[in-house]
Amino acid sequence: MPIHRIILSAQHKDWIIIVTCLACIVVPPLFFSYDLLSIVLNHGYSPLLHTISAFAIQPFGWIERVGILTVGLTLIGVGIVWFFWLARRVGVLFRVAGALLGLVGLCFMLIGAFNTDVTSLDKSLHGVIHCFTFIAVLVLFPCFCIVLALSLRRRLFNRKGIALYTGITGLVGLLFIVSLIIPVLNSVPSGLAERLLASVDLFWLTIAGSQITRLARVTGQLMGPEVISKKRLKVFG
């Protein structure tokens, strides 16, 4: 491959990494802004009793769906960056974590694209897809957190603080699953419980995602403008 094409692809990779990092910081507050706006516009529905998916099928539900789809795209972006680039000098666990996060992001996209059923008695194709992808997210995300927490404690990525919070995030997800399986343990209203879980998960996205550029520099995957400029001089000078 010609050297100028390698430089161009490196520049594109730098931009993808930087934009993904910024998205991790911007998207979580945007999601909650969309959720708040949807709550305000859909009168008669309580954010404590009604889940995010329940608001998505209301007259202004498209606002909620935009937030869900945006989170899904961001998770897919982070998964791609981790799987294809950051994992090269870290190991298999980090690559597995990237793949799992990409799958979680894909599930979020499906949740946003396919609405839940209005009642538990309705059984539409949209509702079935929504239900199964929601269950997939509940299972995959804690698994992802466990794998990532283990990989962050190894080799170049010695980020014990992020590893600890990642493990806590996975534990919260597992407790949420247990509360769904054993309803007697769940005294928190469903809407509030889902939003609390979303808050914990999206706070993780902000914290861990904001470290992407730093981790990319540690692994040598983020070149920086000064490196690109030197390579240009070697090619054209």
Q: What is the mean pLDDT of the chain?
A: 80
**pLDDT value of position 105:** 95
pLDDT tens per residue across all 237 residues of the chain: 444 344 345 567 788 888 898 999 999 999 999 999 988 888 878 888 888 888 888 888 888 899 999 999 999 999 998 888 877 766 788 889 999 999 999 999 999 988 888 766 677 888 889 889 999 999 999 999 999 888 876 554 556 778 888 889 999 999 888 888 887 666 778 888 889 999 999 999 998 888 887 777 766 666 554 443 344 333 323
CA distances from 212 to 17, 77, 226 (A): 7, 11, 19
Using one digit for the tens of pLDDT, what is the confidence trace for 150-180?
887 655 455 677 888 888 999 999 988 888 8
**pLDDT value of position 227:** 41
Which single residue is written with the structure tokens 């709550």?
A: 39
* Contacts made by residues 80-86, CB under 8 angstroms, sequence distance 24+: 80/16, 80/20, 81/16, 81/17, 81/20, 81/212, 81/216, 85/13, 85/17, 85/216, 85/219, 85/221, 86/212, 86/215, 86/216, 86/219, 86/221
CB 167 within 8 A of CB 144: no
**pLDDT value of position 17:** 86
Token pair of 203 as six digits = 């706070």
The pTM score is 0.82
CB 34 within 8 A of CB 67: yes
Q: Is 58 helix (H, G, I), strand (E, B) or coil?
A: coil
Domain boundaries, the chain: 3-217
